[in-house]
């Protein structure tokens, strides 16, 4: 689990945790799950299939925080990133620091 700090140095109430039994990362506000990024692994590939953040938490950058966390975790595990999920794909198109770890799916995979 991760707990980020706010710019003021206070603990952040939002956390992200990998829940491998459910094949997803969960974004939480305290004990409440407010978002997730689903994935499945195939050999050395982590295939991201669906990402959701509760609309009540919109505009806070939490979707981007979730995307950054899951991508960093995949890279740290030496997984190739396969973005089937439109949200993760859009994030990757704006953040080229992950380019060397991404295999874009072709039309047959979608």
Per-residue pLDDT reduced to its tens digit, 62-85: 999 999 999 999 999 999 999 999
Write down the mean pLDDT value for the chain: 90
What domains are defined for the chain?
2-101 (3.40.630.30)
Q: Taking the CA atoms of the chain, what radius of gyration do you get in angstroms?
A: 14
Which segments within 1-110 are labelled E, that is strand? 2-5, 11-19, 24-29, 32-42, 45-53, 80-83
pLDDT value, residue 1: 41
pLDDT value, residue 12: 80
91-99: average pLDDT: 98
pLDDT value, residue 8: 55
Q: Are 99 and 63 in contact (CB under 8 A)?
A: no
């Amino acid at each position: 689990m991760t707990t980020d700090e706010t710019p003021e140095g206070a603990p952040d109430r939002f956390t992200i945790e990998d829940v491998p039994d459910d094949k997803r990362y969960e974004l939480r506000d305290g004990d409440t799950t407010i978002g997730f990024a689903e994935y499945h692994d195939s050999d050395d590939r982590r295939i991201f299939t669906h990402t959701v953040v509760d609309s009540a938490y919109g505009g806070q950058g939490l979707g981007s925080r979730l995307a950054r966390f899951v991508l960093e975790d995949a890279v740290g595990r030496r997984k190739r990133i396969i973005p089937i999920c439109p949200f993760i794909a859009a994030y990757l198109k704006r953040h080229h620091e992950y380019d060397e770890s991404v295999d874009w799916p072709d039309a047959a995979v979608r």
